[in-house]
């Protein structure tokens, strides 16, 4: 393929043209809505004029009041103005549709050119792998680096997915404990009786059940993390024993209510710290992923430069 450098410059405009096409589609949608609204307005104005011109009770009263001609002229003028505005916006819509068609044609032409360009690069890539000398060695070295980067990217994505699951699980446990805290405070400050007691322990049970899933997700996260990223400690919560539950139910005492409330708050604080730690890990993983993607893009640009100048 001749002038591959010129072709690369040409197909570099595809992204810009696609952004222009997206903006054009947005303007077309807005203009179509305006055209629809103006068409309705034209029809309404036409009906108003017809209503006055017809020998109706309304026109009779206008004649009686001496306002017939004035009202008719006003409605006719508004009908003309509405029609002119409709024509103007409809013409604008047609121009936008022409612009869209031109952009689509340009993009399609460049996409066909890009297909030929990529086919030529593939041919040159196959030749570069077997090429002797400095250029061939450099190309193969970059290929090996890319394979390693792609593998690390896959590992990072898996770790990010595990971190997300862990954080969502921790947030679920935290939400349940916060609900339990509301009822625990109510038990402290008000005489909620059996209903508040059952509500409080319903949320505590939900939290403890969700916590078991959290532990499983945290173990998976630990297994997915790279050696140079410090993990999170497998946290534990202050569970409320059966004896404490019985005391809380039968005694309904301020001291035991305070004790249970304090345990819930300790768990909330611990979970908030855990969520913060997982979020820090996610930040590190996202930065790692971005660095790897940047390095991969850089290597591929270097490879492309080698291929473009390869005969």
pLDDT tens for residues 1-31?
A: 456 667 777 887 888 889 999 999 999 999 9
CA atoms within 13 Å, Cβ hemisphere of 29? 6
Dist. CA 136–CA 133, nearest whole Å: 6
Cβ distance 166 to 235 under 8 Å? no
Give the mean model confidence (pLDDT) for residues 280-302. 88
Q: Look at residue 22 in the predicted model and tell me its pLDDT.
A: 93
Q: What is the CATH number assigned to the segment(s) 142-308? A: 1.20.120
Instruction: Check: pTM over 0.85? Answer yes or no.
Output: no
- Residue ranges covered by each domain of the chain: 4-130, 142-308
Dist. CA 40–CA 33, nearest whole Å: 11
* 94-103, 143-152, 244-253: range with lowest mean pLDDT: 244-253
Dist. CA 11–CA 18, nearest whole Å: 12
Cβ distance 45 to 78 under 8 Å? yes
Secondary structure (3-state) at 66: coil
- Considering the chain, what is the average pLDDT of its residues? 79
Show Cβ contacts of residue 232 under 8 Å, excluding neighbours closer than 6 positions.
Answer: 166, 218, 221, 222, 274, 277, 278, 281
Q: Look at residue 246 in the predicted model and tell me its pLDDT.
A: 58
pLDDT tens for residues 62-87?
A: 555 566 666 667 777 888 888 888 89
Q: Look at residue 44 in the predicted model and tell me its pLDDT.
A: 86
């Amino acid at each position: 393929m001749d002038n591959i450098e010129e072709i690369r410059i040409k197909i570099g405009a595809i992204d810009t043209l696609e952004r222009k096409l997206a903006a054009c589609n947005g303007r077309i949608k807005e203009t179509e809505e305006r055209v629809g609204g103006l068409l309705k307005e034209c029809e309404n104005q036409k009906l108003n004029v017809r209503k006055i011109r017809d020998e109706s009770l309304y026109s009779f009263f206008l004649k009686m009041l001496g306002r017939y001609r004035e009202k008719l002229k006003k409605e006719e003028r508004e009908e003309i103005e509405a029609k002119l505005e409709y024509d103007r916006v409809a013409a604008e819509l047609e121009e936008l549709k022409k612009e869209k068609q031109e952009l689509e044609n340009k993009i399609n032409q460049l996409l066909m050119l890009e297909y030929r360009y990529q086919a030529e690069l593939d041919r040159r890539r196959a030749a570069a792998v077997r090429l002797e000398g400095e250029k061939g060695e450099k190309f193969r070295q970059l290929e090996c680096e890319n394979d390693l980067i792609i593998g690390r990217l896959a590992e990072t994505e898996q770790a990010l997915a595990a971190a997300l699951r862990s954080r969502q699980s921790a947030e679920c446990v935290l939400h349940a404990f916060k609900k339990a805290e509301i009822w625990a405070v109510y038990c402290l400050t008000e005489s909620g009786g059996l209903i508040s007691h059952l509500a409080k322990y319903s949320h505590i049970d939900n939290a403890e059940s969700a916590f078991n899933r959290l532990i499983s997700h945290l173990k998976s996260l630990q297994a997915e993390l790279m050696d140079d990223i410090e993990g999170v400690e497998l946290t534990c919560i202050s569970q409320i024993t059966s004896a404490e539950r019985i005391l809380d139910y039968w005694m309904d005492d301020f001291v035991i209510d305070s004790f249970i409330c304090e345990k819930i708050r300790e768990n909330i604080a611990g979970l908030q710290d855990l969520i913060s730690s997982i979020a820090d890990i996610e930040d590190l993983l996202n930065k790692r992923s971005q660095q790897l993607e940047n390095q991969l893009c850089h290597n591929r640009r270097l490879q492309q430069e080698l291929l473009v100048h390869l005969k």
